[in-house]
Amino acid sequence: MEFVRDGALNSLLQKGKSGLYPNAFIQYAKQIADGMKYLRDEVSEHTIHRHLKNVQIFTSAAGTFPWMSSECIRSNAFSTKCNVRSFCVLLRECITGEIPYRGFDRMQVLFGIATNKYSSRIPTACPENASQFMKVGNNFHIIDQHIVNYMNNQMKLLKYVILVGRRLATTQSNVNIGDQMKMLNDNKQYTKALELFDTLSKQNIDKCSNWIIIQALKACTEINDVQHGSQIHNLISSRLKRDPYVLPSLIHFYMQCGDVSHAQLLFDKSTKKTLFMYGAMMKGYIKNNSAKKAIDLFKEVKNPNEVMVNLVFNACAQLATEKELNLLKSISSMIPNSFYSNHYVLTSLIDAFIKCGDVKSAKSLFDKSTKKTLPMYGALMTGLTINDREEEAIAIFNEIHLNELHRENHNEKQINLLFEKKTDCFEANITIYLCLIKALAKLGILEQAQSFVQQIPSSVLADHRIQNSLIHMWGKVGSVDEAKRIFENISQLDHIGWTAMINSYGLNGMGIEAVKLFHQMPKELMNDLTYVCVLNACSHAGLVDVARSIFNNIQKKTEIIYTTMIDCLSRRAAFEEAQQLIEQFERDHAPALTIYSLYSLDVFIIHKVLVPLLSGARNQKNTKLSQEVVDRMQKLFPNMKSSLVPASILLANVYASAGDIEKATDIKIELHKSGCKKQIGVTVTDIDGKLWKFRAHDRSHAESAEIHEQVDRMSKRIIEHGHKYDASWIVRPMQPDETIETLLCGHSERLAMAAHFIRNRKPKRIQMTKNLRICGDCHEVTKLVALIYQCEIVVRDTNRMHHFNMNGQCSCQDYF
Residues 6+ apart with CB under 8 A from 364: none
Q: What is the 3-state secondary structure (H, E, C) of 322-336?
A: HHHHHHHHHHHHHCC
Closest CA to 478 of 516, 433, 510, 512: 510
For residue 717, what pLDDT is reported? 95
For residue 737, what pLDDT is reported? 85
For residue 683, what pLDDT is reported? 96
Q: How far apart are the first and last CA of the chain?
A: 77
For residue 373, what pLDDT is reported? 83
Indicate the domain borders of the chain: 9-171, 172-255, 273-368, 372-458, 498-673, 682-804
Closest CA to 258 of 235, 281, 287: 287
Architecture of the domain made up of 9-171: Orthogonal Bundle (1.10)
253 exposed, middle or buried (CB, 10 Å; 0-12, 13-18, 19+)? buried
Q: How many CA atoms lie within 13 A of 459 on its CB side?
A: 15
**C-alpha span between 86 and 52 (Å, rounded):** 5
The angle subtended at Cα 53 by Cα 13 and Cα 426, nearest 5°, is 110
Residues 6+ apart with CB under 8 A from 665: 652, 732, 733
**C-alpha span between 613 and 617 (Å, rounded):** 6
For residue 171, what pLDDT is reported? 40
Phi/psi of residue 564, each to 5°? -65, -40
- Which residue pairs from 398-403 have beta carbons closer than 8 angstroms and sit at least 24 positions apart in sequence? 400/374, 400/426, 400/428, 400/432, 401/426, 401/428, 401/455
Residues 6+ apart with CB under 8 A from 645: 671, 676
For residue 347, what pLDDT is reported? 92
Q: Is the dihedral of CA 573, 579, 580, 586 positive or negative?
A: positive
With respect to CATH, is domain 498-673 assigned 1.25.40? yes
For residue 159, what pLDDT is reported? 44
For residue 405, what pLDDT is reported? 46
**C-alpha span between 436 and 428 (Å, rounded):** 11
520 exposed, middle or buried (CB, 10 Å; 0-12, 13-18, 19+)? exposed
**C-alpha span between 704 and 656 (Å, rounded):** 29
Q: Is the dihedral of CA 539, 545, 546, 547 positive or negative?
A: positive
Closest CA to 82 of 129, 39, 29, 20: 39
Phi/psi of residue 537, each to 5°? -60, -40
The H-assigned helical ranges of 637-674 are 641-657, 661-673
**C-alpha span between 795 and 177 (Å, rounded):** 61
Q: How many CA atoms lie within 13 A of 132 on its CB side?
A: 9
Cα 139 versus chain centre, distance: 31
DSSP 3-state of 793: strand
Q: CATH number of the domain at 273-368, please?
A: 1.25.40
**C-alpha span between 652 and 665 (Å, rounded):** 7
For residue 613, what pLDDT is reported? 61
Locate the DSSP E strands across 329-371.
none
| CA–CA distances in Å: residue 132 to residues 86, 122, 129, 663, 691 | 16, 9, 5, 77, 54
pTM equals: 0.68
Maximum CA extent, the chain: 103
For residue 647, what pLDDT is reported? 76
CB count within 10 Å of CB 405 equals 15
**C-alpha span between 603 and 503 (Å, rounded):** 7
DSSP code, position 463: S
Residues 6+ apart with CB under 8 A from 545: none
Task: Compute mean pLDDT per 10 residues along the chain, 816 residues long, and list them.
Answer: 49 54 61 69 54 45 54 53 64 60 54 54 49 50 38 43 41 64 90 90 83 92 93 86 81 94 92 90 94 94 91 93 92 89 90 92 90 87 91 90 54 44 50 93 94 88 93 97 96 94 96 97 95 94 94 90 87 82 76 46 31 63 77 70 72 78 79 74 93 94 95 95 87 81 93 95 93 91 96 93 95 83
| CA–CA distances in Å: residue 561 to residues 513, 553, 554, 576 | 20, 12, 9, 18
Domains 9-171 and 273-368 share a fold: no
The residue type of 284 is G
For residue 599, what pLDDT is reported? 31
* Contact yes or no for 809/803 (Cβ under 8 A): no
DSSP code, position 187: T
For residue 460, what pLDDT is reported? 86
| CA–CA distances in Å: residue 625 to residues 351, 426, 578, 586, 618 | 41, 56, 12, 19, 10
